[in-house]
Chains A and B, each alone.
Chain A
């Protein structure tokens, strides 16, 4: 595939809510292109009709019982607001607080 431009990489970074600092631009773009050109290697494997392998657990379903995959509909004590908010960078009246959501227009 053709190389990714700085703009391409910035766009992807933004999807992940990351910013590429100016001084890192070159190294990040280079890194991406290096890795992507390396993984081109995968294209030489014939995978027509091959089912993707997503997780070893999904290949061994016989090891799992129905019961262990579910929880009963019985309530358990929650942790409590204090514990849940104990690591919050900012809180207000038992809620997490953050700069207002801005709706795009």
Chain B
């Protein structure tokens, strides 16, 4: 049977505030265990939460950046459940009225068309502490307890693994563009829960969904969706029913495993948090945040296409990360040629080396200015495109500028017309037989003369200039 796939995503983004959601403890991933903890985030009796002003601003930022409606009044609720890394015995979250609702992001579907993915809600909440295991014991570190989170719940608008990861990448880049989330997936700054269901093609009724918790890379999200879709199909095709389950994605086996089967036991007993007042956001506050929003990926893509004349594909790649876009624009500053050439070099050469080294654009050993220098050297004919690749590699390894490397390698092209003319004349004079052949119509012999000039100049003669001169001399 043919099925429609329905995918919804819930993202937990840790905010990059300096302090926690309800207290002023520092947020630190590297601190020693339980050193960034106070009475509030360890839930000592008698303690109360106080809003983090910055976290509210960040929530408004994301709301605006995702075209969401900001709720002027939103409220906080307690979600009650017992877990050792949750010292209060409840999580403060937004259940009834979240800070923002009804947004959307534009992504490309698998055919390359723009597709709107709805965002149901953005809610403010708090992270838990961390448990680790030591034999039969669990050890609890509360340093992370109370870190502000935004939970971003998408509509179930995605229908392929690719779409899901495009949506995630887009959301991730927006969070980082806004400067409200470090976006480091290894550190758990950006975590994703995946909801998958399938239904017979064209059917109105949704199938039973499964939820895969805490998938922590874009690639794993794609893999886990593909796996789940296949699993659901097999179950349905064999006449069985999909169980509503919470799953984990096992990176080793590339398969999902059951964490728990949903039941009545999931009774979170949400109720309004009496220790906090409703969050009231004024129009002027929203306006203030709006006025200070940075340029977002979509706007940047448009501008890159329009201002720099690069293809949409390039603009997309270059804006995926804010730092990459900044690099591109910085490189263009001291560069005189076509932007497309710059974008090629960044995408094809620079990103390849950076990826291989597993490092980021911020740590690129080749500065934007150096790359511009290299491309200028090509455009002015100082070096050939082929040589440039070797030069680039050396620049990457040493961190030196193009000029320095070109000099070091003795690669500077000879564009001195008089000098090339002299060498070429000498070669023509010494090879009268080949001159005759050429004149008799053997055009292929032309290459011989160019080659000889190159040989004489250790390959440094400007190739196009050399051809021109030889053509002239041979008449």
Contact = CB atoms under 8 A, between A and B. Distances in A.
Direct contact of A and B (CB under 8 A): yes
Interface of A: 15, 17, 54-55, 57-58, 61, 64, 66, 69-76, 78-81, 84-85, 92-101, 103-105
Contacts of B135: 100
Given A15-B269, A97-B134, A101-B131, 20 more contacts: A17-B82, A55-B272, A58-B278, A61-B277, A72-B53, A73-B54, A75-B18, A76-B25, A79-B37, A81-B33, A81-B35, A94-B34, A95-B132, A97-B139, A98-B137, A99-B138, A100-B133, A101-B83, A101-B133, A105-B258
Contact of A85 (B34, B83, B258): B34
B94 interface: no
Contacts of A105: 258, 260
Interface in B247-290: 258-261, 265, 267, 269, 272, 274, 276-278, 280
Contacts of B422: none
22 contacts: A54-B272, A61-B280, A69-B50, A69-B51, A70-B53, A71-B51, A75-B19, A76-B19, A76-B25, A78-B26, A84-B34, A84-B37, A84-B42, A85-B34, A95-B139, A97-B139, A97-B140, A100-B133, A101-B84, A101-B138, A103-B260, A104-B260
Interface of B: 17-19, 23-26, 32-39, 42, 50-56, 82-84, 131-142, 258-261, 265, 267, 269, 272, 274, 276-278, 280
Given A70-B56, A96-B140, A78 B277 contact: no
A10 to B, nearest CB: 13
A50 to B, nearest CB: 15
A74 B134 CA distance: 35
Q: Which 4 A/B pairs are nearest by Cβ-Cβ distance?
A: A73-B54, A70-B53, A76-B24, A95-B139
A73 B32 contact: no
Contacts of A54: 272, 274
A79 B39 contact: yes
Contacts of B142: 84, 96
A71 B53 contact: yes
B267 A15 contact: yes
A70 to B, nearest CB: 4
